[in-house]
Structure 1
Amino acid sequence: MTPWQMGSTPGEFRFSILGIPIRVHPMFWLTALVLGIHSTDPVTLLAWVLAVFVGVLIHELGHALVMRGYGFYPEILLYGLGGVTDYGVGGGTLRLQPIQRIQISAAGPAAGFLLAAAVVLIVRLLGGETGIYWLLGFIPIPILEPVGSQALTAFLQSLVYIGVFWGLINLMPVFPLDGGQIAREILLAANPRTGIEQSLVLSFYCALFLAFVGFFALSSLFMTLLFGYLAYSNYELLRGRPRPW
């Protein structure tokens, strides 16, 4: 059963883009509000929620468009902490090569990076100023000078942040994030016998490390809980797998 077939939820928002059906679960909006609750200004909070919606949608559309290019009929569900793009009805009957699955996984973060770059480029073309904030000393996050109204500036800055930072987070080799799926494909291609187990071990230790980074370096409760949960879930998956020897 695909996420689209799981039945509707009261309060769901449905629409389509380029013929791709999209559902937005009410929990998506609630989670976006919680993530932006540090803002005491209602206008800034609303701009953040809208940016989360656009940023996550663009990310999932990146996956969906590449899926469609390979002959699938993708469906997008935005919910909880993000979204999921399903191959669609009958998708399981089509086989993909590892490089094609890697391309599908990488297309989401790539779409976010392109979105951030487009925002920065448009701001510069309109005469606005931009800079770089080095998160943790090595992660470049573009910073926009005030552009028009406070709400517009907050919206555009949030779009850039989501496109870059969340894109990088998604590329971490932690299953089921995009980077974790890419790592799994690479390890499976290198060793079909132990590739999945190796990917779970990699996922567990990377998630554990990122949970510590979130807590001690970024003071981010969200990042700590997210990667703490992913470390636990990968550990459980690893523990439940039969040994290859």
Structure 2
Amino acid sequence: MDPVDSAEIPPIEALQSVFSLHETRRDGERILYYGESLVPEQMLVREVWPSFRQAGYEIQVATTPAGREDIIVARPVTNGTDGIPWKNLGLFFATVLSTMIVGALAWYHVPGSEILSNPATVLQAWPFTAAVLGVLTTHELGHYALSRYHGVDVSLPYLIPFIVPFGTLGAIIQMRGQIPDRKALFDIGVAGPLAGLAATIVVTAVGLSLPPMTVPESMVRGSGQVIIFNNPPLLNLIAAILGEQTSYPDPTTTAHPVIIGGWVGMFFTVLNLLPVGQLDGGHIIRAMLGEAQERLAAFVPIALFGLAAYLHYGLGYSFNESVGIWAFWGFLSIFIAYRGPADPIDDAPIGPARMAVGLLTFALGALCFLLVPIEMMTV
């Protein structure tokens, strides 16, 4: 790291009243300010962020390994992708492949031996892949678009390949910049669920209009038990409006796999709207209620463990059904809550219009909730 001429860096007068500056050094594109903070960290960021942001820099506060000095780390704001986003593209193509393979095996009932002898048979599952990834990607692009609108440095979506039952664990984006105010935090948080739900409704409607699939009778007879994905209220509502059915008395007949894209969108919406930490619901509630969000978040793990206990001890469901889902998310929500919510620079209230949109978003999320998302059935 090299010393920096004060003429080459953002105006340091913004630091004078809140930070005792000892030394300034450059580390690549980053500029590091060593010294002692004269105010709490959140107040320090709130005071100096506007000047640095206007000069084209994002800031973070850290301490030296020995804890003897505070460090303000300033780095240039990224206004777009820097070159070709190879990691994003690599994960995208890997997830396309994983969802297509899983779709072919689990939802289009293509025998594994047939896929091994002719890999092109996985292309039968492209509608399933398009439905699942379309919903998940639209959700993340909602966050991305509103982050860019508010000038927040954010990555392109990262899709996550996985195995059964969907071939993916979802998608994420990485927010690298500070959130300027609660309005921006709200807009970014709510954009994902609303965009994802719009795509979910379209995908569900398309899936319901497609003809049902026929399951080979040999697969039904030899399976013993099958996983049943129960319908969220929103899926039943869309089916009722369109006059389409979602289940069939013949066990060898199932709804078209594209509908699973809608189911995935609804289930992921419920999970993302949990009002804890830096999940979408945590962002929205933090923007709506301010710091009171943390008190609400403390009840989320309790509620999820309560759901798991009620399903197991009250209704007799096993752990490999929905009990395990809610128990897992109970533990995960503890970790998410421990990391804390996003803290915007300006903590002014968001106003009644956004409050109404927030309530509407949670109401739509409630239409996607199922006490028993999956269960096992003997055939």
Q: Would you say 1:70 and 2:150 are equivalent positions?
A: yes
Q: Would you say 1:98 and 2:182 are equivalent positions?
A: yes
Q: What's the C-alpha RMSD, in Å, of the aligned pairs?
A: 4.7
The answer to whether the 8 A contact 1:210-1:227 is kept is no
1:1-245 alignment runs, 5 A limit: 14=89, 23-24=91-92, 26=94, 39=107, 41-42=109-110, 47-75=127-155, 76-79=157-160, 81-88=169-176, 91-92=177-178, 95-119=179-203, 139-141=233-235, 142-143=238-239, 153-154=256-257, 156-188=258-290, 192=291, 195=292, 197-212=294-309, 219-220=321-322, 223-224=325-326, 226-234=328-336
Which secondary structure state, in structure 1, belongs to the residue aligned with residue 180 of structure 2? coil
The answer to whether the 8 A contact 2:302-2:330 is kept is no
The answer to whether the 8 A contact 1:36-1:49 is kept is no
Tell me the alpha carbon deviations over residues 69-105 of structure 1, each in whole angstroms, 9 at most, x when there is no partner: 11235322122632222235xx33xx42212211211
In the superposition, the TM-score normalised over structure 2's length comes to: 0.42
Worse-superposed segment, 60-69 or 205-214? 205-214
After TM superposition, give the deviation of residue 123 of structure 1 in Å. 7.5
In the superposition, the TM-score normalised over structure 1's length comes to: 0.60
Tell me the alpha carbon deviations over residues 97-128 of structure 1, each in whole angstroms, 9 at most, x when there is no partner: 2122112111111111111233456679xx87
Would the alpha carbon gap of residues 48 and 205 (structure 1) be closer, same or farther in structure 2, given more than 3 Å must change? farther
After TM superposition, give the deviation of residue 183 of structure 1 in Å. 2.1
Task: Identify unmatched segments of 5+ residues in structure 2.
Answer: 1-74, 111-121, 162-168, 212-229, 247-252, 341-379
Letter in 2 for 1:56: L
Tell me the alpha carbon deviations over residues 12-57 of structure 1, each in whole angstroms, 9 at most, x when there is no partner: 5618xxxxxxx53857965897799754713686654443322211
Task: Identify unmatched segments of 5+ residues in structure 1.
Answer: 16-22, 130-134, 239-245
- Equivalent position of 1:241 in the other structure: none
Worse-superposed segment, 210-219 or 165-174? 210-219
Worse-superposed segment, 57-66 or 28-37? 28-37
The answer to whether the 8 A contact 1:102-1:185 is kept is yes
The answer to whether the 8 A contact 1:116-1:164 is kept is yes
Cα distance in structure 2, aligned partners of 1:117 and 1:202: 30
The answer to whether the 8 A contact 2:285-2:293 is kept is no
Which secondary structure state, in structure 1, belongs to the residue aligned with residue 151 of structure 2? coil
Q: Percent identity?
A: 21
The answer to whether the 8 A contact 2:143-2:189 is kept is yes
- Give the paired residue count: 207
Letter in 1 for 2:298: V
